[in-house]
Amino acid sequence: METVLELDSVVKRFDDHEVLSGVSLSLHRHEVVCLIGASGSGKSTLLRCANMLESVDGGRISLFGQSLLDQRIDPDLVRRHIAMVFQSFNLFPHLSVLDNILLGPVYALKRKRGDVRDEALELLERIGLRDRADDFPDRLSGGQQQRVAIVRSLAMQPSILLLDEVTSALDPTLVGEVLDLLRDLASTGTTMLIATHEMNFARDVAHQVAYLDQGVLVEQGTPEEIFNNPRHESTRAFLERVR
């Protein structure tokens, strides 16, 4: 399978603190990789580095074989291929649901508003929020907002979707609808890198699970390998704690 995103011994420091210490990971087309690990283990930083929202202090990141650390790379162009969804949704409060979704395709991709509008409404239809298209984000529940944020990313037709603990800010009763949408996306072959605390979800959906501990990728494997037979003591201890 074609490698879409590849991280090779990526190092990231904030001042003296090393947040990522040589993390290597690759993501193939149609693959879902879940990043697990305690808060502060470097999951979010890893996603941000992949989306060029953070600079990198060492190693290599490449998208379809092109190094993203090359000086001539335009981060804005890279981000049009790698979409990101945030823990706190970050919908634009001054724009309607529909305009939130249209912003990227219309201004970054310079596509015709009418064309994108039809696609956006179709996407909203799929998540059952078509009748909320003209509402402002603050009229929606957290779960609805997060689903709109996911659709906003999908409207860019990205090669990869990065999801940063997208259910962590949600009321427990609203987590299910967001995870169902992600399951749906996984089943239709969306390439995703998901940082999550939802172990059951990771077990169901992921092709690969990677466990991060204090900036080190301790082990990586299929969900069966990681959840049933973890090879490292720290992985085992972490899974004990979250169970």
**Cα separation, 44 vs 38, whole angstroms:** 11
Which of 7, 140, 156, 217 binds another protein (CB under 8 A)? It is 156
Query: Under the criterion CB under 8 A, does residue 110 sit at the interface with another protein?
Result: no
Sign of the Cα torsion 204, 188, 24, 86 reads: negative
**Cα separation, 4 vs 31, whole angstroms:** 9
Q: Cβ of residue 138: shortest distance to another protein, in angstroms? A: 4
**Cα separation, 81 vs 161, whole angstroms:** 9
Q: In sequence order, what are the beta bridge partners of 14?
A: 17
Query: Under the criterion CB under 8 A, does residue 114 sit at the interface with another protein?
Result: no
Q: Which candidate, 99, 134, 128, places its Cα nearest to that of 116?
A: 99
Sign of the Cα torsion 75, 27, 151, 115 reads: positive
Site size toward another protein (CB under 8 A) is 28
Which of 60, 79, 117, 183 binds another protein (CB under 8 A)? It is 79
DSSP calls for 38-57 = -TTSSHHHHHHHHTTSS--S
Residue 219 carries which side chain, given as an amino acid letter? E
Which of 53, 69, 73, 239 binds another protein (CB under 8 A)? It is 53
- For residue 35, report the phi and psi dihedrals to the nearest 5 degrees: -100, 125
Query: Under the criterion CB under 8 A, does residue 108 sit at the interface with another protein?
Result: yes
Beta carbons of 90 and 149 less than 8 angstroms apart: yes
Which of 12, 132, 147, 152 binds another protein (CB under 8 A)? It is 152
Q: Which is nearer to another protein, 99 or 204 (CB)?
A: 99
Q: Cβ of residue 1: shortest distance to another protein, in angstroms? A: 25
Query: Under the criterion CB under 8 A, does residue 72 sit at the interface with another protein?
Result: no
Which of 72, 94, 241, 243 binds another protein (CB under 8 A)? It is 94
Q: Cβ of residue 22: shortest distance to another protein, in angstroms? A: 25
Q: In sequence order, what are the beta bridge partners of 194?
A: 34, 163
Q: Cβ of residue 228: shortest distance to another protein, in angstroms? A: 35
**Cα separation, 83 vs 58, whole angstroms:** 23
Q: Cβ of residue 231: shortest distance to another protein, in angstroms? A: 34
Q: Cβ of residue 176: shortest distance to another protein, in angstroms? A: 24
Which of 13, 29, 60, 80 binds another protein (CB under 8 A)? It is 80
Residues in contact with another protein by CB under 8 A are 51, 53, 75-80, 82-84, 86, 88, 90-94, 103-104, 107-109, 138, 149, 152-153, 156
